[in-house]
Amino acid sequence: MIPTHRAQINRITADARIDTSRAINFFFNGKRYQGYLGDTLASALLANGVNVVGRSFKYSRPRGIVSHGAEEPNAIVQINTGKLTIPNLKATQVELYEGLKANSVNGWPNVEFDLMSIFGWFRRMMPPGFYYKTFMSPAKFWMVYERFIRKAAGLGRSPMQFDPDSYDKLNQHTDILVVGAGPSGMLAAREAARTGARVIIVDEQNEFGGSLLASTQTIDGIKASSWVKNLMAELTKNKNVLMLPRSTAFGFYDHNFVAVIERRTDHLGDSASGLCRERIHRVRAKQVILATGALERPLVFAHNDIPGVMLASSVSNYLIRYGVAPGNRLLLFTTNDNAYQTAIDWYQSGREVVAIVDSRRNLSGAMYEAARKLGIEVKSGHAVIEAEGGKRVCSARVASLSRQGNKIDGLVEKLDCDLIACSGGWSPTIHLSSHTGSKPVWNESISGFVSGSSREDLLLVGACNGEYSLTGCLANGAEIGCRAAESIGYQISAIETPRFQVDELEELPQQTIFLVPHDKGISRAPSSFVDMQLDVTADSIEIAVREGFESIEHIKRYTALGFGTDQGKLSNVNGIGILAQMLGKSISEIGTTVFRPAYTPTTFGAIAGRDVGALFDPERLTAIHRWHEENGAKFEDVGQWKRPWFYPRASESMEEAVHRECIAVRNGVGILDASTLGKIDIKGPDAAEFLSRVYTNSFLTLARGKCRYGVMLKEDGMIFDDGVCACLGPNHYLMFTTTGGAAQVLAWLELWRQTEWPELRVYCTSVTDHWGTVTLSGPDSRRVLEAVCAGIDLDNDSFPFMEWRDAIIAGVDARIFRISFTGELSFEINMPAHHARHIWEALMDSGEPYDITPYGTETMHVLRAEKGFMIVGQDTDGSMTPYDMGLGWVVNKSKEFSFLGKRSLDRSHMLRKDRKQFIGLKTIEGSKMLPEGGQLIFDPEEQIPMSMQGHVTSSYYSPSFGHPIALGVIKGGFSRMGQIVYCPQPNGEIISAEIVNSVFYDGDGARQNV
């Protein structure tokens, strides 16, 4: 057993929100520590006096905990190991549980002694864009450099195994969604719920209460924490309210759609196995109330990144909420009254306040007086210009400041301290409102960006709306809660809105300082860090400006400001302010960068939810699927369908199986499951007219019992789908589509039927899944069918090619179509899907004397290619007309109605002689295969770039001929028969091929017509 490393030296167990009777053991960077139930990893580390929690990204400087929430830039940890590991969590957001193992994501060999920190000594040699500038040439070496740079720069490591946890998604519809359960949000929720409105209130923390959890104030005479408890009790009792703690609203999308991730088990550790780890609530709300609060802004001064420099509000939080004093001797550096509370809290905890350093002159007001009354020294008109120390602050250099706060105008003195709490004011947390596209607006009076949204269904309340006093937040929350409910039709009671009695001191205006001056100039002074996570310093912004960058969007990308996992929550506004100062512009002129979802990192597991593995995409199986499985078929995905690809026997390779299947169809008989073909049932008095409008050929003359091959065009004249259509009876047709095109064809038919020709009386119904389709193909197919078919004569005179008949096969009603996709005598049999396997097996039995051979899609493709039958989407690409494909015979231009696409066929471009045309290709060196997609050229000696003349669309080895064949499109192909084209390969080889007719096999179609 590893001994507990250190006692909790910084724990002061005053009235905090932790349970000191429940000790929890945890590990950080391999050492064992103890904390209490209610701690975060950050508060427990501070309690144990751990100063260095990570190394910085670029210079490997030692870094400590700065904040207490989602804004934390430094304390980035990797939790657990193996398949349960989670990278890049913020220690400030990780709840402690027994046995928790956490490690810093940076630092080698460890964070206390990091060899990479040598980079820090050469900081001036690593300006922004350092890697790009330094490792620029030779260009191809970047790949080599990159491997080392990535290793030095990376954050956490992603898990290498499958995620064993389960995740859910829930759809929530609510009247009002309140984001943030601080004082404003909770009151808004309460007032709205009291009207009867349905309310969801979410908060990213484990407890509701927000700032009140670390407040010493009283509301209506009771302690803030008790006041929260009472409010919680009321909300819990109201069945219209859904309360979601540990839930982050991370994305705000159109029409008040908000994505909320609820973390259900991460705080439980191992005890939660088997539970759903996280779930995403997809919330659609009539009103959204943002009560997301504000983030305190750090002050940017020299060496402000040394461990022991923290946000003032965070110091108070650790003190009051967690019972942890993160140091002994506090120096407070502030530009505002609000942070005085931290010095007062610190003083009351019994530890030493060295001084309050306030940038403002001529101080007065209640907060100032309160601090003075306690005997705390206040240095007005002063600034901390530099922190000193290595792995912990040991002193601060303090100097008198000019009135504008941009120059030092007095002597520098040194104050010993081990904790510098700083506050540069507050920034409203307006990220979610920005997701909706509204631009933030700079508000000078609060020195922060506020939401620019003016939507009626989105309300902002409290600190995220720039209201910082507790009295104001409570009143604002109550009012907005009522207003939101009223706006969607709920009655608010006539009783006046509640008033609150809060012990609150009035605060005077703050001063705005983005960059604290130093006694040396900016480029010679020690680094002042703006973005601690990515090591962006004030002087790197200056360098960017000097190199000509002006737009904040460009500065962001050049310096990496705000690009870390914290998304610049602490750094963006300071960066914008510093840039404005350097360019001599106003903040409004600079503007902000765009906030995008997610507010905090969200796991892929939660986003995927249950849609993984077999549930990722539905699989469609034919009614004969099990037979194929039982008989060893290999499957191919065609859209969502699983289709038999080929049926290998024993140790056959794919090539061998396909060869055998092809020969069987050509010489004997094969059987194919074609159930996936799209089938659309078309009915109505105007059905024939409708078909004549959507196909290029006429269907008005098609009699019952007959089939016709048809091609459909888009209005631009390009082939969209093809297939056979049969007349089943008066005003009744069955349209076959390609497997992949079925859904689009139906939507296309509906588009024209519903929007352009509503006067046509015709209805289209998808019957793809209702009918199984089994194709018998080959010279023996008639004999196989005869043995099981009753009621009709199958000879060529009684039942010729391109006709269909009702029949009874193996005792079951079926339709037989004499159509062929292989070029052989074929019977395509349709039967109700539940009879498909029965008929398939009956045919297998009757075919046994003929060695009937099941064949798959690969053989089907080879056979159709030998016949030169195109596959839409493989041999065509949306730029081919029927003429280009040699299908002029299927276009009937004498039809009265101008069918879809007809006019386009006469556009000038369509009449060009050098359009790409569909041809066959035979390689000169007989055994060579042309690769599909290979580009074709006329002149192999031509300079690069060569002129592309066409490409190969289909290429197979043909068992019927014993050599490869290919199909392709080539400019002016029809008039180039017999010419040689060339297909250059990546390895320098050039394959030459002869242009031939696309129909290789049985050119006059005799074999299918017997």
How far apart (Å, rounded) are the C-alpha atoms in residues 186 and 235? 9
- Residue number, 188 or 283, with CB nearest to another protein: 283
Do residues 10 and 36 lie in contact, with contact meaning Cβ atoms separated by under 8 Å?
Answer: no
**Under the criterion CB under 8 A, does residue 716 sit at the interface with another protein?**
yes
Cβ of residue 282: shortest distance to another protein, in angstroms? Answer: 8
CB of 777 to another protein, least distance (A): 35
- The nearer residue to another protein, 236 or 765, going by C-beta atoms, is 765
CB of 729 to another protein, least distance (A): 25
- Check: CB of residue 287 under 8 Å from CB of residue 457: yes
Closest CB to another protein among 769 and 906? 906
Q: Which of 907, 940, 985, 1003 binds another protein (CB under 8 A)?
A: 907
Q: Does 754 bind another protein (CB under 8 A)?
A: yes
Residue 989: Cβ within 10 Å count: 9
Please report how close the Cβ of residue 588 comes to another protein at its closest, in angstroms: 15
Shortest separation between residue 446's beta carbon and another protein, angstroms: 20
According to CB under 8 A, which one of 750, 806, 813, 942 is a site residue for another protein?
750
On the 0-12 / 13-18 / 19+ scale of CB atoms within 10 A, 683 is middle
Q: Is residue 124 involved in binding another protein (CB under 8 A)? A: no
Which residue's CB is nearer to another protein, number 148 or number 257? Answer: 257
Count other C-beta atoms under 10 Å from residue 290's C-beta: 31
For another protein, which is the closer residue by CB, 124 or 455? 455
Q: In this complex, which beta carbon is closest to another protein, that of residue 310 or of residue 749?
A: 749
Identify whether the C-beta of residue 71 lies closer than 8 Å to the C-beta of residue 570: yes
Kindly state the smallest distance separating residue 747's Cβ from another protein, in Å. Answer: 6
Q: Say which residues have a Cβ less than 8 Å from residue 267's Cβ, sequence separation at least 6.
A: 95, 97, 206, 246
Q: Minimum distance from CB of 658 to another protein (Å)?
A: 37
Binding to another protein, residues 404-463 (CB under 8 A): 436-439, 452-455
Give the closest residue to 726 by CA, choosing from 769, 677, 760, 759.
677
- Residues of span 230-259 touching another protein by CB under 8 A: 253-255, 257
Q: Which is nearer to another protein, 362 or 908 (CB)?
A: 908
Nearer to another protein, 137 or 454 (CB): 454
CB of 748 to another protein, least distance (A): 11
Q: Which of residues 755, 894, 927, 987 is near another protein by CB under 8 A?
A: 755
Nearer to another protein, 374 or 911 (CB): 911
Distance of closest approach, residue 505 Cβ to another protein, in angstroms: 37
Q: How far is CA 170 from CA 251, 600, 608, 613, 724, in A?
A: 15, 20, 12, 19, 44
Q: How far apart are CA 873 and CA 891, in angstroms?
A: 20
| Whole-angstrom distance, CA of residue 604 vs CA of residue 608 | 6
Structure tokens at 190: 């309460």
- Residue of 112, 220, 611, 906 that binds another protein (CB under 8 A): 906
User: Which residues from 593-632 bind another protein, rule CB under 8 A?
Assistant: none
Asked if 58 and 125 count as a contact pair (C-beta separation under 8 A), the reply is no
Minimum CB separation of residue 693 from another protein in Å reads: 10
For another protein, the closer CB: 254 or 1004: 254
Using CB under 8 A as the binding criterion, the count of chain residues that bind another protein stands at 29
Per residue in 379-415, is it b (16+ CB within 10 Å) or e — as a string?
bbbbbbbbbbbebbbbbbbbbbbeeebeebeeeeeeb
| Closer CB to another protein, 314 or 881, in the complex | 881
Sign of CA dihedral 482, 483, 486, 492: positive
Q: Which of 32, 267, 284, 971 binds another protein (CB under 8 A)?
A: 284
Could you tell me which of 875, 682, 646, 892 has the C-alpha nearest to residue 767? Answer: 682
Sign (positive or negative) of CA dihedral 927, 928, 930, 931: positive
For 438-454, the three-class secondary structure string (H helix, E strand, C coil) is CCCEEECCCCEEECCCC
Answer for which of 751, 808, 980, 990 binds another protein (CB under 8 A) is 751
Kindly indicate which of the ranges 288-296, 304-312, 524-532, 751-759 contains the residues binding another protein, using the contact rule CB under 8 A.
Answer: 751-759
Beta carbon nearer to another protein, 303 or 753: 753
CA 516 to chain CA centroid, nearest Å: 39
Distance of closest approach, residue 718 Cβ to another protein, in angstroms: 11
What span, in angstroms and rounded, lies between the C-alpha atoms of 428 and 465? 7
- For the bound state, the minimum distance from the C-beta of residue 910 to another protein, rounded and expressed in Å, comes to 10
Say how far apart CA 890 and CA 929 lie, in whole Å: 31
State the nearest-atom distance from the C-beta of 629 to another protein, in Å.
Answer: 30
User: Parallel, antiparallel, or unpaired: how do β-strands 294-296 and 426-428 relate?
Assistant: antiparallel
437 versus 849: smaller Cβ distance to another protein: 437
* Residue numbers 757-786 binding another protein by CB under 8 A: 758
Residue 686 sits in the site that holds another protein (CB under 8 A): no
Q: Which is nearer to another protein, 520 or 907 (CB)?
A: 907
Dihedral sign, Cα of residue 208, residue 214, residue 220, residue 222: positive
Residue type, 849: P
Buried b vs exposed e over 898-921: b needs ≥16 C-beta within 10 Å?
Answer: ebbbbebbeeeeeeeeebbbbbbb
d(CA 395, CA 232): 44
Q: How far is the CB of 707 from another protein (least distance, A)?
A: 27
Q: In the window 885-904, what residues touch another protein (CB under 8 A)?
A: 898, 902-904
Tell me whether residue 52 or residue 259 sits nearer to another protein (CB atom). 259
Angle at 469 between CA 466 and CA 472, to 5 degrees: 85
For 493-511, give one letter per residue: b (16+ CB within 10 A) or e.
eeeeeeebebeebebeebb
Provide, rounded to whole angstroms, the least separation between the CB of residue 438 and another protein: 3
Q: Is 756 in the site for another protein (CB under 8 A)?
A: yes
Residues binding another protein (CB under 8 A):
253-255, 257, 284, 436-439, 452-455, 715-716, 747, 750-751, 754-756, 758, 898, 902-904, 906-908
